[in-house]
Structure 1
């Protein structure tokens, strides 16, 4: 079991490890390493109001020992249409343990009941089978395909769009 929590200053080294993992740069729109200084600044401002900064990062921690295993992000928040994008990253050593699915379920509940969002969406690289399976299992439906949407070192890749209507989950 896991829980979602706010970022803490103590998360600096975890974020440094996560953000500087080149294996996930292709799915996180990152092209270069991130400094500890930049991450300290980010952490200093991470408690800003979701409605102001229009994004939120929550840490995924295990209930039994409080170990940090990943992050889940809400971004591109649109208050008029009550929707936000979702991104999730689990440390490579912690994958395939069900943490991502649990985190998405908790995030959907939080987005519906606390943030009062109507829907969430996700964009997944067409070759990322595990992520597509994750979002389908979490109740997201495939709603579209964007051709040559993602630029990777190896060339262009299509992106699959997923969406979940939160009111339909009740």
Structure 2
């Protein structure tokens, strides 16, 4: 299995993002209902490298090797500076799944979130039928902390959302 890298978005990622964002198979997990235009993605790429603490989100490109084509993205979103937490989302291209890229990317992101961004915790919401993602988050040290009943509307009907949480460091102890 090749070692993956995480890198910032580049203007050259336009066609990759266009294919990824317009893949109807992942719309259900990204709360997307309509195609995304190249124009909208060009505008997004112009601002994608703004400071995480200002825009409260970060998208990194997953590559199998330095200089190789992108295989997916991993996102931090919904950053809460007071509570030092953020949500995590991962999307791997359909033909690149089941190679361990998501697990390696999640490991790297957890380390970055803890050591560089100094976050206290990460969380993820996973569709109840997405066994692969649940296995991924469990293997990465996330704990299943709850289920929201009939939370996600899909083409097949309503689906539960499973909530996952990972504490990146232990809370400080207070002396009595």
TM bucket normalised to smaller: over 0.9
Task: For residue 58 of structure 1, report the CA deviation from its aligned partner.
Answer: 0.3
Count, aligned residues: 168
- Aligned pair partner of 1:78 in 69, 80, 86: 80
Task: For residue 156 of structure 1, report the CA deviation from its aligned partner.
Answer: 1.1
Task: For residue 67 of structure 1, report the CA deviation from its aligned partner.
Answer: 2.1
Looking at structure 2, the residues matched to 58 and 6 of structure 1 have their Cα atoms a distance apart, in angstroms, of 5
Say yes or no: does 1:158 pair with 2:154. Answer: no
RMSD: 0.9
Q: TM-score of the superposition, structure 2-length normalised?
A: 0.93
Task: For residue 165 of structure 1, report the CA deviation from its aligned partner.
Answer: 0.5
Looking at structure 2, the residues matched to 12 and 65 of structure 1 have their Cα atoms a distance apart, in angstroms, of 16
Gaps of 5+ in 2: 171-176
Task: For residue 34 of structure 1, report the CA deviation from its aligned partner.
Answer: 0.3
Task: For residue 17 of structure 1, report the CA deviation from its aligned partner.
Answer: 0.3
Which has more radius of gyration?
A: 2
Corresponding residue number in structure 2 for 1:119: 121
Change (3 A) 1:3 1:64: closer
SS of the equivalent of 2:39 reads helix
Q: TM-score of the superposition, structure 1-length normalised?
A: 0.97
Looking at structure 2, the residues matched to 23 and 33 of structure 1 have their Cα atoms a distance apart, in angstroms, of 12
SS of the equivalent of 1:127 reads coil
Looking at structure 1, the residues matched to 151 and 121 of structure 2 have their Cα atoms a distance apart, in angstroms, of 22
Corresponding residue number in structure 2 for 1:15: 17
Corresponding residue number in structure 1 for 2:173: none
Task: For residue 44 of structure 1, report the CA deviation from its aligned partner.
Answer: 0.3
Gaps of 5+ in 1: none
Check the 8 A contact 2:59/2:76 in 1, yes or no: yes
SS of the equivalent of 1:167 reads coil
